[in-house]
Amino acid sequence: MSLTLDASTRFHAPLLCAALLALSQPATAMMRCSFPSQPIAIPNTIDGLYIDFVTGVAATTPRDVPGWDFNPFNYSSSSTNYALAFFVPDPPSSLVGILATGTPGNTAVAQDMRLGSTVEAYPATGFYNRAITRGTNFQTAGVRYLGMRFLNEATGILNYAWVQISSGTGTGADAGFPASIINYCYENSGSWIPVGFTPVGLQSFGID
């Protein structure tokens, strides 16, 4: 197993999850994880947050995050009230998306992924939605996992990822806020990834 460590990133993982991962992940697994020392706040705005999983860059405008992969935001207006919602970039890849259920398009709902479930090419349920994806399952207070796939600009390969999101007690047009990204992991090789698990080598130490 290969892993790149970022000196600005803190890593933690339960021993049990790490042990299970070691038994289940392919030998070629190349998981990359980012555990910021502080959660990354998702602004309660129409722009929200843009984040590039590969570089770790995050900002509130897309121009400041070239190659961004994930955009959580508040999609509310006079005619819509989606509150916390999610978006992925337009081309170059038509295969990127948020793992969702329902009907593809702006009515699809992001799945609340169970710990230990897998994000993979052919999900057991749902599909990868490229349009605005409603965050209905993330709009009450709690910590949950979202699954998605994105185009890795460094390798040109579709990568599978999970994002751990903390949601707040807001209601109505503010449902799900205040919100933040606690951490995320993706599989650099293009293989599937188990939700919430991190590599064995990360279970017992931190890097500040």
Mean pLDDT of the chain: 84
In 3-state terms the chain splits into helix, strand, coil percentages (rounded to 5) of 10, 35, 55
Q: State residue 22's pLDDT score.
A: 41
- Please indicate, yes or no, if residue 202 is contained in any of the structural domains: no
- Please indicate, yes or no, if residue 16 is contained in any of the structural domains: no
Closest to 86 (Cα-Cα) out of 141, 128, 34: 128
pLDDT of residue 24 exceeding 60 = no
21 membership: H or E segment, kind and range:
helix 15-24
Closest to 13 (Cα-Cα) out of 203, 162, 186: 203
Q: What tokens does 147 get?
A: 């699954």
- Please indicate, yes or no, if residue 50 is contained in any of the structural domains: yes
Rounded to an integer, what distance in angstroms lies between the CA atom of residue 81 and that of residue 21? 39
Three-state DSSP state, 184 = strand
- Please indicate, yes or no, if residue 123 is contained in any of the structural domains: yes
- Please indicate, yes or no, if residue 19 is contained in any of the structural domains: no
pTM metric for this prediction: 0.82
Q: State residue 36's pLDDT score.
A: 84
Contact predicate 93/158, CB 8 Å: yes
Structural domain for 42, as ranges: 30-196
pLDDT of residue 66 exceeding 50 = yes
**pLDDT tens digits for range 107-144:** 999 999 999 999 999 999 999 999 999 999 999 999 99
Q: State residue 208's pLDDT score.
A: 37
- Please indicate, yes or no, if residue 17 is contained in any of the structural domains: no
Report how many domains make up the chain.
1
Non-local CB neighbours of 106 within 8 Å, separated by 6+ positions = 131, 132, 134
- Please indicate, yes or no, if residue 25 is contained in any of the structural domains: no
pLDDT of residue 2 exceeding 80 = no
**pLDDT tens digits for range 27-61:** 345 889 988 889 999 999 999 999 999 999 999 99
- Please indicate, yes or no, if residue 36 is contained in any of the structural domains: yes
